[in-house]
Structure 1
Amino acid sequence: MGVSIIGTGSYIPENQIKNKAFAKQEFLNSDGSSFQQTNNIIIEKFKGITGIEERRYVSEDLNTSDIAFLASERAILDSGIDKEDLDYIIFAHNFGDVSAGESQGDTLPSLASRVKHLLKIRNPNCVAYDMLFGCPGWIEGVIQANAFIKSGIAKRCLVIGAETLSRIVDPYDRDSMIYADGAGAVVLEASDANTGIMSHISASYTLKEAHYLFYGKSYNSSGNETKYIKMLGRKIYEFAVTHVPNAMVECLRKSGFDVAQVRKILIHQANEKMDEAIVSRFYGHFNMEVPEHIMPMTIDKLGNSSVATIPTLLDQILKGKVKNHHLHTGDVIIFASVGAGMNINAIVYKF
């Protein structure tokens, strides 16, 4: 038995926030001191490293569970199934619903329960739960759905990745320019053994790496006790380019496919330079140059929306919205991600 994606959906917020929107922002160092460079130089360097030109933010009337519902509704419609036939709803996020103007995450009830409620699913045997696994959460949710279906516990699963990171960033931290909002979802069901998920791998590194991403106070220390997403960028980069390529190689080995059969690599849209380095090192294991058009990227226009980057990218490709990138029956692709935990995972998938 195989497990395949039979429907995809995404929600891309309409609010486009271009880099120039940060031109008058007051950015500070972690110790609260001012930068010597102008914001124009900071923004130029930022774009050169991350590849980000703009990002999307949700409107004030929407929350993470709302955009997850919209993406899920589209995925279910795309799959052609009856929503009442879903056995599991697995919702990958990290911060819950953070309302506009607020800083506290709301996870009661779970966001998966909220999506099930919004979908108006009556079936009590459709189990809804949240997945907290950092940016690799959506892939991990797919891996769990794969296990449920192969074991016979479930026939169909909805796996969602959604986040509104724009509401948990420190405006004084230049890293705030990285983060974005978005939602993506897929429906999975049993398929022919020669298609779908062919292999997967996951790992958590916590001995030294657990706090590379963390919640910390604003760089503006003027009595503000609110905590925001913070990261040790250099540490994360070094970790990712070391461990993610190795995981991808091992996952491909487990699948039985040759590297020459890989048509696309859909990697978490975290940082353009980092993703390019990961893919370069992956092919370096096989003494190969990186093939042209192997790694579709949307980070330039959509930013880093954490768990949403891969499912939104997949949906955009399948809907013909990513230039020079298409997927066809028989194509072998690799999904790969890295994020808070520190966690990594990968899937080899055949269409």
Structure 2
Amino acid sequence: MNCKITGTGSYIPNVITRNADFDQHEFYNIDGSSFPHDNETTIRKFKAITGIEERRYLDENLTTSDIAVVAGQKAIEKAGIDPETLDYIIVAHNYGDVKSSSIQSDTVPSLATRVKAHLRIKNPKCVGYDVLFGCPGWIEGMVQAQAFIKAGIAKNCLIIGAEALSRVVDKHDRDSMIFSDGAGAVVLQATEEDGGVLSHESATYAFQESEYIYFGKSNHSEATEDIRYIKMHGRKIYEFALMKVPGAMKECLDNSGKSIKDLKKIFIHQANEKMDQAIIDRFYKLYGMQAPENVMPMTIHELGNSSVATVPTLYDLVSRGKIKNQELQEGDVVMFASVGAGMNINAITYQL
């Protein structure tokens, strides 16, 4: 029994926030001291490192579970299945539903339960649960879904990655410019056809790395003490990713039985353009090769970093022919890969 993606979907928010929109922000270092550069210089350097020119934010009346529903519905429609036949709904996120202007995260009931309710699925044997695994959460949901299918306890699974990071960013932190909102989804089904999920690799590095991404107070020393925001040690994450992710990707590909020359596309978490390119270059260097042109589709320039949503959104857009000069053909071998809070890393080798 194999596991193949039969439907994809995504939700890209309508609110566009460009780099220039941060020009009037007051940025501070983590110790509360002022930035050494003016905002124009800070934004220019930010763009050079991350590649981000703009990002998407949710409308005020929407939450993470709302956009997860939209992405999931599109995937179900593309797969052409009856939602009542779903065995699992797995929703990867990190902060639950945070309403606009709220400081509380709402995770009861789970986002997967909310998605199921909004999809109007009556079947009680359709089990919904959430995955908290940092940015690699959607890929980890895929790992779990394919395990259910190969164990014979599921035939149809809906895996969604959704996040609204704009609701948990500190406007006085330069890193707030990285984060964005969005949702992506796939339907993974049991099949007798060749291909599908060929191999996977997952790891959690927590001995020294667990606090590389964390919840912390505002960089502004006069901000309210009892509110926490997403924070990260960017340099440590960069070094960790370059050290650990290429090897995990290689192990995943080697276990698939496919050659590096078979690999057509790498759908990597859209975290930071410079970091992603360095990971890809190191990955190919492990095989004594240079990375081919066009092997790594990117959305980070326009969509920013929407955490768990980046990989499924990217795959959906390429699958639907919505990214210039990027296309997929039946039989292509691709890889999904991610790194994020935990510190967690994972990868999947997949054949269309």
TM-score class, shorter: over 0.9
Q: Aligned residue for 2:235?
A: 234
Determine the C-alpha separation between the residues in 2 that align with 1:128 and 1:222: 41
Residues 223 and 321 of structure 1, relative CA distance in 2, 3 Å threshold: closer
TM-score, normalised via structure 1 length: 0.99
- 1:29 maps onto 2:29 in alignment: yes
After the TM superposition, which residues 51-62 of structure 1 pair with which residues of structure 2 at under 5 Å, given as runs?
51-62=51-62
Q: Aligned residue for 1:99?
A: 99
Determine the C-alpha separation between the residues in 1 that align with 2:222 and 2:282: 44
SS in 1 for 2:350: strand
Q: Aligned residue for 2:42?
A: 42
After the TM superposition, which residues 61-140 of structure 1 pair with which residues of structure 2 at under 5 Å, given as runs?
61-140=61-140
Q: Aligned residue for 1:195?
A: 195
SS in 2 for 1:141: helix
Is there any run of 5+ residues in structure 1 with no aligned partner, and where? none
Give deviations 1:10-62, integer Å, cap 9, x for gaps: 00001110000001110011111111211000000000000000000010010
After the TM superposition, which residues 190-269 of structure 1 pair with which residues of structure 2 at under 5 Å, given as runs?
190-192=190-192, 194-225=194-225, 226-269=227-270
- 1:276 maps onto 2:277 in alignment: yes
Q: Which amino acid in the other structure matches residue 127 of structure 1?
A: V
Q: Which amino acid in the other structure matches residue 37 of structure 1?
A: H
Determine the C-alpha separation between the residues in 2 that align with 1:57 and 1:106: 19
Following superposition, the deviation at residue 192 of structure 1 comes to 3.0
Q: Which amino acid in the other structure matches residue 164 of structure 1?
A: A
Determine the C-alpha separation between the residues in 1 that align with 2:76 and 2:272: 30
Following superposition, the deviation at residue 194 of structure 1 comes to 2.3
After the TM superposition, which residues 284-303 of structure 1 pair with which residues of structure 2 at under 5 Å, given as runs?
284-303=285-304
SS in 2 for 1:348: strand
- 1:170 maps onto 2:177 in alignment: no
Q: Which amino acid in the other structure matches residue 104 of structure 1?
A: Q
Q: Aligned residue for 1:19?
A: 19
Determine the C-alpha separation between the residues in 2 that align with 1:235 and 1:99: 31
Q: Which amino acid in the other structure matches residue 242 of structure 1?
A: M
- 1:7 maps onto 2:18 in alignment: no
SS in 2 for 1:200: strand
- 1:322 maps onto 2:308 in alignment: no
Determine the C-alpha separation between the residues in 2 that align with 1:52 and 1:350: 30
Following superposition, the deviation at residue 223 of structure 1 comes to 4.7
SS in 1 for 2:121: coil
Following superposition, the deviation at residue 193 of structure 1 comes to 5.3
Identity %: 61
Following superposition, the deviation at residue 135 of structure 1 comes to 0.3
CA RMSD of aligned residues (A): 0.7
SS in 2 for 1:202: strand
